[in-house]
C-alpha cells in the first residue's frame, strides 16, 4: 500500500489533518453538539411518505433549483425573505465551502476569530484560501472595536463570524457584526448554526440583511432541528450572492431524497423544534452544576458549554469515556466542551464528572498555611 507521502498530493495539503471528531459507540454521546432527541414519530412518518413519493420519480434528476425547499426555508426564517434570498446545500459545511469557492481561493484570504469552528480553516485549506486567525478579547468575547481593528489591519476578502461561537458558546452582538461589515469591503458571513438556542428575544443577524449586500447569514437543520444525519444547511443573503453560488455548486447537488426529507420536516417546524426549550434548560443546568462542582463554565447561547478549571483535560476526557460518556477535548488548555443532552444524558455526564477528583482551583491562603 502507498502512503500519503508517495502520492502527488497538492503541496499545500501536505501535513494537514482532516476533520475528525471521534465517532465512538458509547451510551452517552455529547461531543458534536447534536440534538440528542430523536424527531417526533408522526413527523418521521410524514417524511417517509414524502420520500416514497420522491422515489417514484428518482429516475429523473432532482429540481436543480430546489425551489420548494427555498420557499419553505424563506418561510421558516421570516424577515421578509423570499426564495431568491435563499441558498441550501448538504450541510452548512457545504454552504460555507460554496462561499469560499465563489469568493475565496488562491490569492484571497479568510479571517476568523479563534478559537472558533475548526472547519473554517479546513475549508480555507481545501479551497486554497489563506486563513487568518485573529484573537478574541478576554473570556472569548469579541467587541466591535477588536473585531473591526482586525478587519482594518488584515483586509480579508471574507470574514467568518460564528454566532454564537463554537467551541466557546459565546454569543455575538449585532454591534460587532455591524462594525465588521462597516470595516470590511468583502464578504461577511455570520454562521448562526446555533441561533435557535439563544436566549429568548436574541436578535438574528437576519435583521441586518436589508441594505447589506455583502452580508450572508448561514443556518443549519443539523442542530436545533435534530436533522444532522440528513445534511441540510442553508443561508440567506442578497439574490446576487445566491447567483454567485450557482457558479460553483455541482449540478443537482441536493438529492431528491434530501429535498423531500427537508420539505416534510419544515412542514412541521414547530414539532421539530419542540425540544429546544428543554435543551436550553439542560444547557443552563450544565452551567449551574459545573460551577457547583468547582469548574468555570463560559456563558453560552448554544446547546453546549465550554468549561475551564480542568487540570488535565485528556485525563478527564478519558475517565468520562471509561464511564460511557463522550465529550470533546477542543484543544483549549484547561478546558473541555460538553453538549446539552436529554435530562438523563446530562445527569449521566454530571454524575460521572462528580465521581472524578475535584478540579484544582486556586489554593486558598489558609490551606497553604495549614500545609506549611
Ligand X SMILES: *Cc1c(COP(=O)(O)O)cnc(C)c1O
Residues found near ligand X in the complex (CB under 6 A): 33, 91-93, 117, 162, 166, 191, 193, 220, 222-223, 228, 233
Residue 251 C-beta: closest distance to ligand X, Å: 20
If the CB atoms of residues 302 and 316 are measured against ligand X, the closer one turns out to be 302
Residue 240 C-beta: closest distance to ligand X, Å: 23
If the CB atoms of residues 150 and 197 are measured against ligand X, the closer one turns out to be 197
Strand partners of residue 160 = 112, 189
If the CB atoms of residues 273 and 319 are measured against ligand X, the closer one turns out to be 273
Cα–Cα dist 110/113, whole Å = 10
Cα–Cα dist 35/61, whole Å = 31
Residue 113 C-beta: closest distance to ligand X, Å: 12
Cα–Cα dist 336/317, whole Å = 8
Q: Closest CB to ligand X belongs to which residue? A: 91
Q: What does the DSSP assignment read for 214-225?
A: TEEEEEESSSTT
Output the nine-digit C-alpha cell for 8. Answer: 502527488
Residue 218 C-beta: closest distance to ligand X, Å: 7
If the CB atoms of residues 34 and 289 are measured against ligand X, the closer one turns out to be 34
Per-residue 3-state assignment (H helix, E strand, C coil) for 232-281: CEEEECCHHHHHHHHCCCCCCCCCHHHHHHHHHHHCCHHHHCCCHHHHHH
If the CB atoms of residues 186 and 233 are measured against ligand X, the closer one turns out to be 233
If the CB atoms of residues 83 and 223 are measured against ligand X, the closer one turns out to be 223
Cα–Cα dist 28/139, whole Å = 28
Residue 262 C-beta: closest distance to ligand X, Å: 12
3-state secondary structure of 29: strand
In this structure, the chain runs to a length of 372
Residue 111 C-beta: closest distance to ligand X, Å: 15
Amino acid at each position: 500500500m502507498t502512503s500519503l507521502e508517495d502520492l502527488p498530493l497538492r503541496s499545500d495539503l501536505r501535513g494537514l489533518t482532516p476533520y475528525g471528531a471521534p465517532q465512538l459507540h458509547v451510551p452517552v454521546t455529547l461531543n458534536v453538539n447534536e440534538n440528542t432527541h430523536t424527531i417526533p414519530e408522526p413527523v418521521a412518518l410524514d417524511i417517509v411518505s414524502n420520500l416514497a413519493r420522491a422515489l417514484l420519480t428518482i429516475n429523473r434528476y432532482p429540481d436543480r433549483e430546489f425551489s420548494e425547499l427555498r420557499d419553505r426555508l424563506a418561510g421558516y426564517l421570516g424577515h421578509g425573505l423570499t426564495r431568491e434570498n435563499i441558498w441550501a446545500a448538504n450541510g452548512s459545511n457545504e454552504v460555507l465551502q460554496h462561499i469560499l469557492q465563489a469568493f475565496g481561493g488562491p490569492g484571497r484570504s479568510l479571517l476568523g476569530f479563534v478559537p472558533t469552528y475548526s472547519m473554517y480553516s479546513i475549508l480555507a485549506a481545501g479551497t486554497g484560501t489563506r486563513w487568518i486567525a485573529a484573537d478574541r478579547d478576554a473570556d472569548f468575547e469579541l467587541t466591535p472595536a477588536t473585531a473591526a481593528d482586525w478587519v482594518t489591519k488584515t483586509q480579508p476578502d471574507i470574514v467568518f463570524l460564528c454566532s454564537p461561537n463554537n467551541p466557546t458558546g459565546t454569543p455575538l452582538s449585532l454591534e460587532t457584526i455591524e462594525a465588521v461589515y462597516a470595516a470590511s469591503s468583502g464578504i461577511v458571513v455570520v454562521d448562526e448554526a446555533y441561533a435557535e438556542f439563544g436566549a429568548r428575544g436574541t436578535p438574528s443577524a437576519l435583521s441586518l440583511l436589508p441594505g447589506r449586500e455583502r452580508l450572508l447569514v448561514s443556518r443549519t437543520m443539523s442542530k436545533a432541528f435534530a436533522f444532522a444525519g440528513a445534511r441540510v444547511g442553508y443561508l440567506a443573503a442578497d439574490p446576487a450572492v445566491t447567483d454567485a453560488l450557482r457558479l460553483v455548486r455541482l449540478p443537482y447537488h441536493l438529492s431528491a431524497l434530501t429535498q423531500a426529507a427537508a420539505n416534510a420536516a419544515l412542514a412541521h417546524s414547530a414539532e421539530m423544534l419542540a425540544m429546544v426549550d428543554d435543551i436550553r434548560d439542560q444547557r443552563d443546568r450544565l452551567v449551574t452544576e459545573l460551577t457547583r462542582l468547582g469548574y468555570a463554565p463560559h456563558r453560552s447561547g448554544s446547546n453546549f458549554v465550554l468549561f475551564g478549571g480542568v487540570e488535565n483535560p485528556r485525563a478527564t476526557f478519558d475517565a468520562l469515556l471509561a464511564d460511557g460518556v463522550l465529550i470533546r477535548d477542543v484543544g483549549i488548555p484547561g478546558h473541555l466542551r460538553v453538549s446539552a443532552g436529554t435530562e438523563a444524558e446530562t445527569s449521566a455526564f454530571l454524575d460521572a464528572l462528580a465521581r472524578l477528583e475535584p478540579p484544582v482551583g486556586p489554593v486558598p491562603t489558609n490551606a497553604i498555611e495549614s500545609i506549611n
